């Protein structure tokens, strides 16, 4: 069975779906691994490293896509300006972080092409699936890099310093959301010496926040916000109002606000209103790490940095994992490899729609969209 690894073509994407170490492991499992020439160069993996582990380098992208029985990608295939989906042969398998509710045109095209497509961001958060979870791997990078951005943009030190000119107090950092990205943000800010406070709509994460050095603040919810699998769901209107009061109070006294909140790991709720930003101190910084999902701040402009009239800097970076492409690719590659090898039988990928992991991650199959959240998103778009 042939595994094909094309070069990522989305603007700014520097990661590669398989690094050489994973190619070697998959070859040992019985697969023939084809890699598009130059696919790993931007991540620090030149063609020579792939050749050393026995991967076959293919210079022509269209040929590579057409040969692949199982195509591994980082992001969803594009339908414009180049129609990558059309390059997939009918009946082929695709494994990538499709973010299907964000890429409905791609999903429609995959179904029409008869592709069996799995999305790693839909893999369930279970013990058995942990090693395949690209969302968590990339969220760790997002939380880490987001704090570094905040430290660079802030006109103050993060740690406390005692100098001949007097003592400099540590920066106050407020982290919204205590998923994987949020917890990494808390830990990184603490390592840099900041005083860190954090909140989450799931009160059960209080111990996790404290375990990485943060101080938990929260509201007592009238209705549970836990959606299972480590995700949060949308709050009731009553709880939203009480949450806004908490956020306004904490943001007003913070030097840096790091927002990481996503509903179901995909949709970014608008938590930081323009009114909250107006109460913040001049020179303070908001790093909106949910920008890929639309942003947690009402004033965020995804992909841009702006400064408000009252001097608050709002940074809304996109695709932060691509800014650390070497380790991001290594971790992503290991996740994909674990998915493939878990379901390998007789040197080929075994499709088993009764398996809970495959069933949850399956987006298109037999010419149809079978993933329920994506079906709802398509219906909403059509309506």
Q: Catalogue the active-site residues.
A: 125, 130, 133, 136, 231
User: Residue 98: how many CB atoms within 10 A of its CB?
Assistant: 27
- Can you tell me whether residue 282 is helix, strand or coil? coil
CA angle 74, 35, 4 (to 5 degrees): 65
Q: Do 160 and 178 contact (CB within 8 A), yes or no? A: no
Continuous segment of H or E residues that includes residue 286? strand 285-288
Structure tokens at 224: 């549970």
- Can you tell me whether residue 219 is helix, strand or coil? coil
Name the nearest CA neighbour of 323 among 155, 144, 175: 144
Structure tokens at 296: 């947690």
Helices (H), the chain: 20-28, 47-52, 61-67, 104-112, 134-153, 180-191, 206-211, 237-252, 274-278, 325-342, 356-361, 372-382
Adjacent-strand bridge partners of 239 = none
Residue 382, phi-psi category: left (phi > 0), alpha (psi -120 to 50), beta (remainder): alpha
User: Residue 367: how many CB atoms within 10 A of its CB?
Assistant: 12
Q: How far apart are CA 189 and CA 86, in angstroms?
A: 45
Q: Do 264 and 121 contact (CB within 8 A), yes or no? A: no
Adjacent-strand bridge partners of 306 = 314
End-to-end CA distance of the chain: 41
* Cα dihedral sign, 139-142-148-154: negative
Residue 207, phi-psi category: left (phi > 0), alpha (psi -120 to 50), beta (remainder): alpha
């Amino acid at each position: 069975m042939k595994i094909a690894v094309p070069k990522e073509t989305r603007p700014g994407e520097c990661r590669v779906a398989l690094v050489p170490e994973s190619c070697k492991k998959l070859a040992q499992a019985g697969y023939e691994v084809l890699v598009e020439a130059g696919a790993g160069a931007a991540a620090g993996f030149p063609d020579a490293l792939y050749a050393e582990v026995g991967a076959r380098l293919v210079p022509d992208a269209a040929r590579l896509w057409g040969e692949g029985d199982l195509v591994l990608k980082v992001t969803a295939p594009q339908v414009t300006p180049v129609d990558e989906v059309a390059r997939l042969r009918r009946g082929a398998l695709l494994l990538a972080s499709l973010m299907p509710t964000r890429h409905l045109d791609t999903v429609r095209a995959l179904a029409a092409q008869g592709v069996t497509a799995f999305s790693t961001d839909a893999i369930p958060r279970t013990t058995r699936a942990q090693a395949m979870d690209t969302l968590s791997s990339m969220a760790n990078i997002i939380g880490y890099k987001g704090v570094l951005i905040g430290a660079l943009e802030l006109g103050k030190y993060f740690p406390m310093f005692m100098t001949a000119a007097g003592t400099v107090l540590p920066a106050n950092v407020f982290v919204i959301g205590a998923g994987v990205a949020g917890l990494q943000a808390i830990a990184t800010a603490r390592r840099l010496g900041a005083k860190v406070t954090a909140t989450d709509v799931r009160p059960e994460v209080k111990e996790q926040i404290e375990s990485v050095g943060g101080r938990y603040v929260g509201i007592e919810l009238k209705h549970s916000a836990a959606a299972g699998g480590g995700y949060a769901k949308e709050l009731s209107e009553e709880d939203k109002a009480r949450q806004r009061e908490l956020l306004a109070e904490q943001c007003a006294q913070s030097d840096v606000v790091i927002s990481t909140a996503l509903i179901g790991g995909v949709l970014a709720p608008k938590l930081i209103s323009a009114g909250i930003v107006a109460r913040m101190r001049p020179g303070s910084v908001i790093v909106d790490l949910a920008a890929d999902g639309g942003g947690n701040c009402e004033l965020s402009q995804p992909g841009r940095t702006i400064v408000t009239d009252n001097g608050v800097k709002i940074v809304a970076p996109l695709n932060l994992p691509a800014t650390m492409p070497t380790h991001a690719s290594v971790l992503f590659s290991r996740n994909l490899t674990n998915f493939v090898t878990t379901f390998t039988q007789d040197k080929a990928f075994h499709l088993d729609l009764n398996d809970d992991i495959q069933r949850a991650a399956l987006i298109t199959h037999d010419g149809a969209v079978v993933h329920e959240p994506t079906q709802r998103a398509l219906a909403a778009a059509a309506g």
